[in-house]
Structure 1
Amino acid sequence: MAGLTPFRILPLLLPAAFLVVALVFWLPELTALLDNTYLGSFKASFIGILLEAMPFVLLGALLSSLLSVFIPDALISRWIPRRPVPALLFACLLGILFPVCECGMIPLVRRLIHKGMPVYVAIVFILSGPIVNPVVYGATLTAFRTHPELVYARMGLAFIVACLIGLIIYVTVRKSPLRLSIKSLNEETHRQDTRGGKLTAVFVHTADEFFEMGKYLIIGCLLTSAIQTFMVRESLAAAFDRPLGAYVFMMGLAFVLSLCSTSDAFVAATFLHTFPAGSLLAFMVLGPMLDFKNSLMLLSLFKTKFALYLFFLILACVFVGSVLMSVWL
């Protein structure tokens, strides 16, 4: 503690003193705010989203650690086809083997990239995995029993969008978009693997990965809960009361609500007689690919420029694809 001189402590004490004075003067308003129904809605929303997402982040971290400790790098590289088109199809079908929600995708994919998975293949897995899997298929079929065409359309559009974006990234991106280089990831894994045996390494790696991704998840949940609490959905619906406005509204709602891919179909079903079927499809495809909380986690994995490029591709492809698919629906 010798390094904490009075001059270094002073910048910390001044904001703290200001905060104490502000709280004293603001105490009556603060008490009223604590009794506000908005605060109760905010807390319920935050806890609900966090509890819904946390198990999947933990599952993704556990799968990541198991891959890191028990699966050799050469084996992963051998599984992935060399040619781009078979590799894209392989990545889309990985969701059947790893039915992980979008919240658990980032730690798992980070480890797969470390093991030798190309970035464009990893992107396809991130986008398609949370949708093209048997769990989500069953949940969507339950929500739309009387409209099975929406179930098949959701699976098909997610498959097409993921493959198309993967192909675009394969053609246009040459440099590594990762924030951490593969060398840095190797050094991090080596430090974790030298702390004990394999079982110890699994638990240590899971904890490290969980807390690394957990901080972005909590920030995303806080922001999402605040938006959900203070957003007036009726006003937004009235503002977008136009043919293509329904698509914009439902895509924005999917981004803001940040629902799990196993439960968003039940929310979409409540809009079945309010908005066109194509806009419901956009809601169910965009949400698992890009929402508020996983956008922060994607920004933690990829460089900002590439992440924004990816966000644009997802929004454009889902919007155009859902509008075109609505002709069939």
Structure 2
Amino acid sequence: MEQLNNAFTLFLSLLVEAIPFLLLGVLLSSLLLIFIDERWLITHMPKHPVLGAFAGSCIGFLFPVCECGNVPVARRLIMQGVPMPVAIGFLLAAPTVNPIVIWSTWIAFHDRPEIVILRVVFSLSIATIVGYVFSVQTDLKPILQPAIALGTIRAQPKISTGSSLLDGGDFMLGSGGVAAKRMTQDLIQPPQKSLRANFDLVLDNVIQELRELGGILVLGSAVAAAIQTLTPRELIVSLGEGPILSIVVMMILAGSISICSTVDSFFALSFAATFTSGSLLAFLVFGPMFDLKSIGLMLSIFKPKAIFYIFAIATQLTFILTLFVNFHVS
């Protein structure tokens, strides 16, 4: 009974932490509908894949959201036609490379400034590399969910061919094409409307995204709370003595407990006396990119195969960079 109470308490705490940032991300993504023109974004973002991925990784300074709120913003950017390297760079780096998280990390590790600096540098590097890798994927339909892929098609300039781009999207979505066509046309390229009409558009989109993403967030929080309750912390600490094993343990821990990036530095601080610097960085860098909640939310954008590749590349890069810290910096 005590474990059940602890799991329920953790479940509620995860929701209390995450829901405000999910609301913020959904609100920001909805405001993009009326305040940011997708043509402006495409024009002003760097065309070079490396520069585009790096620019996307730095957008977190403008949109300070955690790993719960960054998904709806990234989804809106993709549906507005922003290049994939930019969107993936934002998706992976925004939960860490933003003023709120940098400030909270500094408060927790003010006596170890290298942790703060390397967290930002590693997050920017990994997000830029992953974004660049996905720049070679010119056809987005194999990696995006059908409705999102249809949105990107609608956002692209129309090419004079024998068939309509929108018809292609209808074929891809099957019988749901008509409804998706209407939704995409309203959300991706909304006409100029009155203030009341724009407010209704934003409100409708907020409700739609909260209904979709909120359920995934609740499920992910429940799984994370169960794992955190059933795994004794003493066992985790005992596994964190080696330079390699400690990194693996902290990456698994970061992915399973799903702590919000705005407060995860204080959780990592409790392991600072027993874990290596590289393993602490692995927790702080990898967790905001991939945890149980964010993977569930990413499924609203990407197909499982694409998420696997993003996860695999980010995992390897995190391990290599933090292992270098353990052997050469610590």
- CA–CA distance in 2 between the matches of 1:198 and 1:238? 55
Q: Relative to structure 1, is the Cα distance of residues 129 and 186 closer, same or farther in structure 2, using a 3 angstrom cutoff?
A: farther
Look up the SS of the partner of 1:214 in the other structure: helix
Q: Aligned-residue CA RMSD in angstroms?
A: 1.9
- Deviation of 1:191 after TM superposition, in Å, equals 5.1
Look up the SS of the partner of 1:262 in the other structure: coil
- CA–CA distance in 1 between the matches of 2:121 and 2:235? 32
1:178 paired to 2:173 = no
1:118 paired to 2:70 = no
Match of 1:60 in 2: 25
1:202 paired to 2:197 = no
1:231 paired to 2:250 = no
- CA–CA distance in 2 between the matches of 1:242 and 1:88? 34
Q: Relative to structure 1, is the Cα distance of residues 189 and 174 closer, same or farther in structure 2, using a 3 angstrom cutoff?
A: closer
- CA–CA distance in 1 between the matches of 2:206 and 2:106? 33
Higher Rg:
1
- Deviation of 1:163 after TM superposition, in Å, equals 1.0
1:107 paired to 2:72 = yes
- Deviation of 1:134 after TM superposition, in Å, equals 1.3
Alpha-carbon contact 2:59-2:90 (below 8 Å) kept: yes
1:145-160 equivalence runs, <5 A: 145-160=110-125
Alpha-carbon contact 1:92-1:125 (below 8 Å) kept: yes
Q: Relative to structure 1, is the Cα distance of residues 63 and 189 closer, same or farther in structure 2, using a 3 angstrom cutoff?
A: farther
1:263 paired to 2:263 = yes
- CA–CA distance in 2 between the matches of 1:211 and 1:258? 21
- CA–CA distance in 2 between the matches of 1:306 and 1:163? 16
Alpha-carbon contact 2:64-2:98 (below 8 Å) kept: yes
Identical aligned residues as a percent: 37
Higher helix share: 1
Match of 1:328 in 2: 329
- CA–CA distance in 2 between the matches of 1:186 and 1:232? 50
- CA–CA distance in 2 between the matches of 1:89 and 1:107? 20
Deviates more, 1:189-198 or 1:148-157: 189-198
- CA–CA distance in 2 between the matches of 1:231 and 1:271? 16
The code of the aligned residue for 1:152 comes to: I
- CA–CA distance in 1 between the matches of 2:294 and 2:182? 26
Unpaired runs of at least 5, structure 2 = 152-168, 170-179
Unpaired runs of at least 5, structure 1 = 1-35
- Deviation of 1:46 after TM superposition, in Å, equals 0.6
Match of 1:300 in 2: 300
- Deviation of 1:241 after TM superposition, in Å, equals 4.3
- CA–CA distance in 2 between the matches of 1:64 and 1:186? 20
The code of the aligned residue for 2:150 comes to: I
- Deviation of 1:182 after TM superposition, in Å, equals 2.6
- CA–CA distance in 1 between the matches of 2:227 and 2:313? 24
Of the candidates 182, 198, 202, which is equivalent to residue 187 of structure 1? Answer: 182
Alpha-carbon contact 1:153-1:325 (below 8 Å) kept: no
1:28-107 equivalence runs, <5 A: 36-107=1-72
- CA–CA distance in 2 between the matches of 1:82 and 1:239? 45
